[in-house]
Amino acid sequence: MTNIPWKDRGFTLSPSSWNNFESCPRKFWLSRQRLPRKTGMPAAIGTAVHDTVEDLCNLDLLDRDGEETGWLPRTAKQLLRKQWEEERESFFNTPRHPAWKEDEFEKAQKLLIGALNIMFSKAGRKSVALATISVDEWRAIQEMVLAAEGTLRSTCGRLMGRLDLLIAERDESGETIGWIVADLKTGRAPEDELYDTVSRQLRLYRDLLAENNPGHPPITTEGWYALNSKVYVAEGPNVLEDAFAAWEKMRPTETPLPATPSADACAFCEWKAWCPSWIWARAHGELEVEGVFRDEVVQVVRIEDDGAVALVERMNPVDVEGNVVESGQRFGVVVRGYARESLRELLDMGWEGPVLFGSVNVGGSSWQLGDWCDVLPWKPIPDSGELPAD
């Protein structure tokens, strides 16, 4: 499945790979196997907003009248639109993607405004309309930004991170009195303090920055949540020692790392079709099943109405390797949107084995598969690491 074995490729710990490893080593291992990747609207919106902030920070304003106002809403929207189009293209080039929601552009605009409001507040302007920001005021903000989308690496190359913004804090005389490492977040904001995973990510940036810049000014580390324009400070001990220890444990291996199924780790794991552990843990009461959205491994018995409805049989695991057998429980499924396309494609390719339905709604008299669902061939990779045939 992989052209160059993972063990022969270089390996660098990033905050996201570290988080994956801590939540479930198998999840991390699977993420390195070049399996078909998944994307969704939240990721597309987040990238479009991040890249637009970067574009605005690097915008060339040399020939503009410093007094001019009213330019920022128009420019921000144009830049966001450009990034949006690029994201749409990359979305459709990602093997696993749901339907594209064009009307979410409005949400991206709101998030961009939220992010810009935090930047204004850092420049001493509280809650202002974008249209009132003059070219000179934006130049002052640009001047405050020491780096937008910078890569940080440990000198040995084992650790890396991409920080969104490095901001200079200056006193009234213009002297730099501190640095702010800012990570822009477009997801749900925490209620009071940063999630542990985000705090650790931010502290990794902080500690790499400090390590690479002896004599640096005091560094503050902040998560900027665009949704509510709120800033959360990450505080705590240095994480480099822990990161290097994790890097040692995350070294590439031919055989899968252990799986540690749990409600938190498995909930949004995108590698379930290749993992035999969650279904085995669930069958043995070690993983609770809650809510109407479930992951199910099924055998398609019949498909009708050009793929709009199907009859499936739930499959139960018989061993830790992911082998499954019929349960005798059959369900009617209404199949819509992206799920319908995926199921049709799979059956047209001649796949006759079990199928993973990710997040199928089992709440009604018929199951519901829609744009939000994964429909994938069930190809669990056993502990031996022997990859299933394509």
Taking CB under 6 A as the rule, does residue 250 contact ligand SF4?
no
Taking CB under 6 A as the rule, does residue 261 contact ligand SF4?
yes
Taking CB under 6 A as the rule, does residue 282 contact ligand SF4?
no
**What is the smallest separation between the CB atom of 325 and ligand SF4, expressed in angstroms?**
20
**What is the smallest separation between the CB atom of 20 and ligand SF4, expressed in angstroms?**
9
**What is the smallest separation between the CB atom of 348 and ligand SF4, expressed in angstroms?**
27
CA 124 to chain centroid: 32
- Select 307 or 322, whichever has its Cβ closest to ligand SF4: 322
Structure tokens at 269: 């794991």
**What is the smallest separation between the CB atom of 251 and ligand SF4, expressed in angstroms?**
18
Contact segment (CB under 6 A) with ligand SF4 among 101-109, 234-242, 263-271, 348-356 equals 263-271
Taking CB under 6 A as the rule, does residue 271 contact ligand SF4?
yes
**What is the smallest separation between the CB atom of 26 and ligand SF4, expressed in angstroms?**
4
Residues of this chain, 13-32, that bind ligand SF4 according to CB under 6 A: 24, 26-27, 30
One residue of 79, 259, 355, 360 binding ligand SF4 per CB under 6 A: 259
Residues of this chain, 28-67, that bind ligand SF4 according to CB under 6 A: 30
Binding mask 200-239 for ligand SF4 (x = CB under 6 A): ----------------------------------------
- Select 32 or 125, whichever has its Cβ closest to ligand SF4: 32
Rounded CA-CA distance 275/27 in Å is 8
- Select 116 or 259, whichever has its Cβ closest to ligand SF4: 259
- Select 22 or 87, whichever has its Cβ closest to ligand SF4: 22
- Select 84 or 278, whichever has its Cβ closest to ligand SF4: 278
Contact segment (CB under 6 A) with ligand SF4 among 132-140, 247-255, 274-282, 362-370 equals 274-282
Question: Which of 260, 265, 295, 272 lies closest to 372 in space, CA to CA?
Answer: 295
Question: Which of 155, 152, 160, 150 lies closest to 11 in space, CA to CA?
Answer: 160
- Select 223 or 322, whichever has its Cβ closest to ligand SF4: 322
**What is the smallest separation between the CB atom of 269 and ligand SF4, expressed in angstroms?**
3
**What is the smallest separation between the CB atom of 123 and ligand SF4, expressed in angstroms?**
42
Taking CB under 6 A as the rule, does residue 272 contact ligand SF4?
yes
CA 269 to chain centroid: 11
Residues of this chain, 117-176, that bind ligand SF4 according to CB under 6 A: none
Cβ-count burial 12-42 (b if 16+ within 10 Å, e if not): bbebebbbbbbbbbbbbbbbbeebeebbbbe
Taking CB under 6 A as the rule, does residue 198 contact ligand SF4?
no
φ, ψ for residue 114 (rounded to 5)?
-60, -40
Q: Catalog residues that contact ligand SF4 under the rule CB under 6 A.
A: 24, 26-27, 30, 259, 261, 265-266, 269, 271-272, 275, 277-278
